[in-house]
Amino acid sequence: MSFPTVLQVLPALVSGGVERGTLEIAEAIVGAGGRALVASAGGPLVGRLERLGARHVTLPLKAKSPLGVWRNAASLVKLVTVEKVSIIHARSRAPAWSALLAARRTGAHFVTTYHGTYNAGYPGKRWYNSVMARGERVIAISEHIAAHLRAAHGTDPARIRIIPRGVDPRRFDPGLVPAERLAALREEWHLPEGRPVVMLPGRLTRWKGQLVLVEALAKLGGDAMAVLVGDGGSAFRAELTARAEALGVAGRLRLVGHVDDMASALLLADVVVHASTDAEAFGRTVIEAQAMGRAVVAADLGGPRETVAEGVTGWRVPPGDAAALAAALGRVLAMPDAARAAIGAAARAHVLACYSTRAMQDATLAVYRELV
């Protein structure tokens, strides 16, 4: 039996984990001999998607109004019918409502990936979110999300498939990063040779915990440098800078913005920090750091509870606790280089065994095969 035609739907192809996962699954569908279609409002990743052999269809799937959802459903019905789509895979709520209607009208199978816990703070929001739990198969990106599905939506465990996010070893491999790339980043970021580097990758937003790391840096003895990798609003950036100045650590803090070459960036770090104060659905930056053989200290909630084994592949600390984070960083930086490298090596081996892109792709293709 030939592999089916699969249509993935999402708001746009700009950047982020949802978009990256869409491209990775499109690549796997093509590799399995199927046809990969993606419908979205478009964006800079369309070219990369099409180079993988997939086809993009531009539709205004960002629309959240009932009329917009209805119109998009009609467009998806036409697309599914003309292209003989067997499976519609929804990755975001507004497009998922259109996809659900289209699946019901055409008989196509409906799959969802539940990427986050989603805010349900006002009336009707939980019902709106529930579309992501209505798939014939619901892919949860972690045990944490699977538990949320059962608690928030009463989802039948028989429909849930836990498929963690993955790291591409073609990108995240310490052996593939030449020394000159590391030297160029070190110079660009003004990091003195011989100074320990503590790195927090993540969008500059309060719940990602950058302020917690700044507070911890002030409590951490020695001369370690803290590097915050990621874009964000100018107001929060200014707040971080002002707090660092008030604590006397502004000279040890670098806010370097977005970085395309994350493999090299992570390899510059002696310790990588995950400091989120809200539960991460998964936390892909943690496994990317581990894939690069870095020591990781993570907040003890959400997805990192599954990817960071205490004292084996990293360490966990109470979320939002700057003193605990500083103490953990101090212990890790005081370790002999060989001991810290051994933890990094164990973490990399665990990621390659359990959290590779290939494993995620294969598990998703298996879900499609279940349905057809």
pLDDT at position 2 is 80
Q: Does residue 287 have a pLDDT over 80?
A: yes
Q: Does residue 41 have a pLDDT over 70?
A: yes
For residues 202 and 156, membership in a common domain is answered with no
Quote the CA–CA distance of 321 and 69 in Å, as a whole number: 43
What mean pLDDT comes out for the span 126-151? 95
For residues 191 and 152, membership in a common domain is answered with no
For residue 87, the SS3 value is: strand
Q: Does residue 221 have a pLDDT over 80?
A: yes
Quote the CA–CA distance of 260 and 266 in Å, as a whole number: 11
pLDDT at position 1 is 54
75-92 pLDDT per residue, tens: 999 999 999 999 999 999
For residues 206 and 285, membership in a common domain is answered with yes
For residues 88 and 221, membership in a common domain is answered with no
Quote the CA–CA distance of 129 and 149 in Å, as a whole number: 11
Percent of the chain with pLDDT over 70: 100
For residues 107 and 40, membership in a common domain is answered with yes
The number of beta carbons lying within 10 Å of the beta carbon of residue 368 is 22
For residues 256 and 142, membership in a common domain is answered with no
299-336 pLDDT per residue, tens: 999 999 999 999 999 999 999 999 999 999 999 999 99
For residues 33 and 111, membership in a common domain is answered with yes
pLDDT at position 339 is 95
For residues 360 and 349, membership in a common domain is answered with no
pLDDT at position 16 is 81
Residue 335's contacts (CB-CB under 8 Å, 6 or more residues apart) are none
CATH number at residue 126: 3.40.50.2000
Q: H-helix or E-strand containing 324?
A: helix 322-334
Give the range among 168-172, 175-179, 223-227 with minimum mean pLDDT: 168-172
Average pLDDT, the chain: 95
What mean pLDDT comes out for the span 16-28? 93
For residues 150 and 182, membership in a common domain is answered with no
Q: Does residue 362 have a pLDDT over 80?
A: yes
For residues 91 and 240, membership in a common domain is answered with no
Quote the CA–CA distance of 2 and 284 in Å, as a whole number: 32
Query: How far is residue 278 from each of residues 13, 119, 209, 299, 337, measured CA to CA in Å?
Result: 26, 12, 9, 9, 32
Say what the pTM is.
0.91
Give the domain range for residue 156. Answer: 5-166+356-371
Q: H-helix or E-strand containing 160?
A: strand 160-162
Closest CA to 28 of 199, 196, 163, 158: 163
Q: Does residue 122 have a pLDDT over 90?
A: no
Q: Does residue 141 have a pLDDT over 60?
A: yes
Concatenate the DSSP letters of all residues of 91-112 into one string. -SHHHHHHHHHHHHHH--EEEE
The number of beta carbons lying within 10 Å of the beta carbon of residue 262 is 17
For residues 219 and 311, membership in a common domain is answered with yes
For residues 103 and 192, membership in a common domain is answered with no
Domain count, the chain: 2
- Confidence class for position 21, pLDDT limits 50, 70, 90: very high
